[in-house]
Amino acid sequence: MEATAMIAEKLLLWLSAMREGSWWQFRAVVEELATDELVDCETSGVDLLSDGDFPLHQRLRLNLECLGHVEFFAHEFQDGWRVAPPTLAVRQVGNRAVGIMCGARSRQLLEKLRGATSTHCQFQQQAIVDGPDRLCVHSDNLMSLEHCAVDAGLHFQRDAPFAILMHLPRIGPPNKTTSEAYPVGADWIIHQFRPGELRWEKTERKAAEKVPNGFFRFKGPYTKPRYFLRWGGVIQEMSSRGVGVYVTLRQAHCNVLTYAEWKCELRLPSICRPPKLLERALVLCSGLTPIYDFTTGQLVYHDVPPNIARLAAKLLEQRL
């Protein structure tokens, strides 16, 4: 939707100016921008803030994060966000080098990037769904891209998708021997991830405390979901939903990735969205957020070269 793309672009400009803030501040700004967009576009009857069970602020959070623009809920700011430094994330595509601009941006920085492009570099700006504009620089010469980034004041990250994946550990069960505790209270709604059916199934606390292995989601009325992996009877709270999902898939010997090498397209079920840093590596191959296929219920990642697809599958303990 064009309106949400405009909201995302304005949002990133505001986030870049503020640099960091709280989660509730982020939500309030999204709601304010969506309200303004409704007035400006006179889109009466259109609810920009919600889309079924996945509201706009959550869609924007996921997309800003996987595109490498903003970090959410990190250890240093567990209830907030921080904008990443402006970076040109580069990868080689055949005989050409492609750089995707990530992180903080401003209108002045955009003009500097445009001005830094030469006859050896081509600048491209593209609107995307539920995300800020894709800013891309192409060149036949990798050094030309590096000079362009330096002249514009951007960090330069060579082979960005591969560099990210090489710093990630393989998915594996936790090795802790000291058990944590599930949240206390009667208001929690508990679901267990069922790898065979690829779905979340409602369950009771007694069942979650009894099974030796399982991955559980605790949803409260006023807090973000919390995820717990019970492995060998030991309970551990997981900071990454994706890690818990793929540990459970591995234990059940379920393979969910498919790859079409002839069109460099990686697919996986939307419920099996990978951990955020691994997904960022996949997204930075194209600079585009994954497309949801309504026919199959899968997320589709485009322009993923074979070496990146194979390395991602290896880290997720999946077979292609």
pLDDT band at 38 (very low <50, low <70, confident <90, very high): low
CATH number of domain containing 116: 3.30.70
Task: Return the pLDDT at 44.
Answer: 44
Cβ pair 133, 114 in contact under 8 A: no
Final residue of a structural domain among 83, 115, 146:
83
pLDDT-wise least confident of 7-21, 66-80, 227-241: 66-80
Question: Is residue 297, in this structure, part of any structural domain at all?
Answer: no
Tokens of 125: 């700006």
- Please list, residue by residue across 249-288, b when 16 or more beta carbons sit within 10 angstroms of its beta carbon and e when fewer do: bbeeeeebbbbeeeebbbbbbebbbbbbbbbbbbbbbbbb
pLDDT-wise least confident of 233-237, 246-250, 308-312: 233-237
pLDDT digits (tens, 9 = 90+) for 165-223: 999 999 988 887 788 999 998 899 999 999 999 999 999 999 999 999 999 999 998 78
Final residue of a structural domain among 33, 53, 83:
83
45 pLDDT more than 70: no
Q: Domain span at residue 154?
A: 87-160
Total domain count for the chain?
Answer: 3
Same domain flag for 74 and 93 = no
41 pLDDT more than 70: no
pTM summary value: 0.90
Question: Is residue 229, in this structure, part of any structural domain at all?
Answer: yes
298 pLDDT more than 50: yes
Give every CB contact of residue 11 below 8 A, 6+ residues apart in sequence.
29, 30, 33, 60, 64, 132
Same domain flag for 93 and 76 = no
Question: Is residue 306, in this structure, part of any structural domain at all?
Answer: no
52 pLDDT more than 50: no
CATH number of domain containing 51: 1.10.10
Same domain flag for 132 and 148 = yes
Question: Is residue 64, in this structure, part of any structural domain at all?
Answer: yes
Task: Return the pLDDT at 46.
Answer: 43
49 pLDDT more than 80: no
Question: Is residue 128, in this structure, part of any structural domain at all?
Answer: yes
Same domain flag for 93 and 137 = yes
Question: Is residue 150, in this structure, part of any structural domain at all?
Answer: yes
Task: Return the pLDDT at 1.
Answer: 52
Question: Is residue 112, in this structure, part of any structural domain at all?
Answer: yes
Final residue of a structural domain among 83, 108, 134:
83
